Amino acid sequence: EIVLTQSPGTLSLSPGDRATLSCRASQSVTSNYLAWYKQKPGQAPRLLIYGASSRATGIPDRFSGSGSGTDFTLTISGLEPEDFAVYYCQQYGSSPGTFGQGTKLEIK
């Protein structure tokens, strides 16, 4: 199965900053089938990005995804207070689907 490694483990930034989160796959992700989710404490995850770069319904355009093959990035431009959360990547091009271990985005 494909192993996803997210970095950094924790990212400390201030509101208004730009956040760059990385997700690296152990082998190429088929057709760039890579999704990103956000999870706040006590809540279910929420889909942000699918297909590496397509925003899900209702997701603001400060969230953007990029990358291909084995290296993917989630960028959040102009952090809002509600953006501080844990972010997970998931590949769904190969079975079984797998998640990264998460990046915690915390307020500096």
For β-strands 86-91 and 34-39, DSSP reports them as antiparallel
- Identified binder of another protein from the candidate list 13, 33, 55, 70, rule CB under 8 A: 33
**Segment interacting with another protein, rule: CB under 8 A, options 16-24, 30-38, 67-75, 76-84:** 30-38
70 HSE (CA, 13 A, CB side): 8
Could you give the count of Cα atoms lying within 13 Å of 87 in the half-sphere of its Cβ? 28
When asked if residue 5 is in the footprint of another protein (CB under 8 A), the reply is no
8 A C-beta contact, residue 34 and residue 48: no
| Closer Cβ to another protein, 1 or 82, answer by number | 1
**CA–CA separation, 82 vs 16, rounded Å?**
12
Q: Please identify which residue in 31, 78, 107, 108 interacts with another protein, judged by CB under 8 A.
A: 31
Residues forming contacts to another protein in the complex (CB under 8 A) are 1, 30-31, 33, 35, 37, 39, 44-47, 50, 56-57, 86, 88, 90, 92-102
